[in-house]
Every structure is written in structure tokens, then in C-alpha cells.
Amino acid sequence: MRNTRVLVADAESTDGTPEVVMGFADRLNVSVIRGGRPSAGRNAGAALADSTYVLFMDADIEPASNSLIRRSLELMQRKQLHCLTTNIICRDGNFTDKMLYFGNNIFQQLSRLHKPFSTGMFMLFERQRFHELGGFHEQIHFAEDYHLSKQVARSRFGIVRGGVYTTNRRFQKMGHAKVAKLFFSAAFNFWNQNFFLRDHKYWEAESR
């Protein structure tokens, strides 16, 4: 893992994240960089990368298998993909939490027929194509992942089997109905740039 560069974008956290991250410096090629909202933090990390591919992962994400990243890279190379994602699994949530993430996974599969949807929780991008598309739009604070991935050609988008574990914190803080409403609103407004630029108060709810 020493030859894999790990960049952690920290948005002025107060829980000791930088110290915890640098505690792995003897085993990993890891650095802490200035973050912000997800779009800004991800773009800052991508700007420092010099690899062929860039993998974006949220802080509360855990691969469901040790082979996930290796298989993702193999699929990217074999099919010459520009963007790839995987399934999202809510391991410790209740039935409603699990069903909403199951719906997310179904939508991702169906999106390959129209406009690709990759969740930012796990998004592997060819670095050159990422920059050609302009990266994540930093004025978009909700569904910035969908806004970017829908610009990828369907033939260059993939979903690797398996998944990553996440928590149900979004549902706990915002409520199931609000999260589902925002999700479907983004899906049905894929053509509407103004929708994505609108302030949906997503991070205000997340920070409570």
C-alpha cells in the first residue's frame, strides 16, 4: 500500500481526524489536505493526483470485501471505462434504511440505460476524463456526484459487483422522506442545471 497515495480532505474537523490519519503514515503514503464541502475536497485531492485513476470515497465508507478496489481497477482497464461505482449497503440500519439503499442500487443499474448515476460514496474515475469534465461542480452542494457522472457516456460507465458499507446517519439526521424526495427530485431534474445549483439545505440538515 505504500505505492498507493491516500489524500484525506479535512474540512476543519474537530474530532482529531488529521491526527488519526497521520497515525498511519508509517504504513501508508497518506496526507491530509484542506477540504470543504465534498465537491471542493474531492477536486483538491484530484488536483494532487498523478495516477491513471482516482478513487473518491466518503469518510464513513468501508469496502465490503478486500478485493473490491482491485476488481474495480481490473474492470476499468478491461472495458476502458471512464467512471465506475458499486452498490451501497447499510449494514446496521433498520429495514427502511436498507430498502432505501436497495432502491439506490436499483436506480444505479437502471441509469445505465439513460444517464449514468455514480454515488460519490464510491466513485472511481479515469483522471484525465475527470479533468476534461471539469471535476465536481463546486457550486453544487447536493447530488454533485450525479451531476458529474451523468455526463459520462453509457458505454464508459460501469458498476462492479459487491459493494461498500455505509451508515444510516443521513436518514437519522434528515428523515427518510426528505432524503427520498431529494433523491427522486435530482433524478427527474437531470436535465435542469438550475435544480442542481439551487440551495436544498442538505448540509444544514447534515450538520445538525
Q: In this model, does residue 45 exceed pLDDT 90?
A: yes
192 vs 45: CA distance, rounded Å:
28
Q: What's the mean pLDDT in 109-120?
A: 94
Identity at 186, one-letter amino acid code = A
Tens digit of pLDDT for each residue in 118-177? Answer: 999 999 999 999 999 999 999 998 999 999 999 999 999 999 999 999 999 889 989 999
- Coil, helix or strand at residue 24: coil
* Residues paired with 116 in a beta bridge: none
SS3 readout for 141-196: CCCHHHHHHCCCCHHHEEEEEEEEEECCHHHHHHCHHHHHHHHHHHHHCCCCHHHH
| Per-residue confidence (pLDDT) for residue 162, from 0 to 100 | 96
Phi-psi group of 7: left, alpha or beta (phi > 0 → left; psi -120 to 50 → alpha; rest → beta): beta
pTM for the whole structure? 0.91
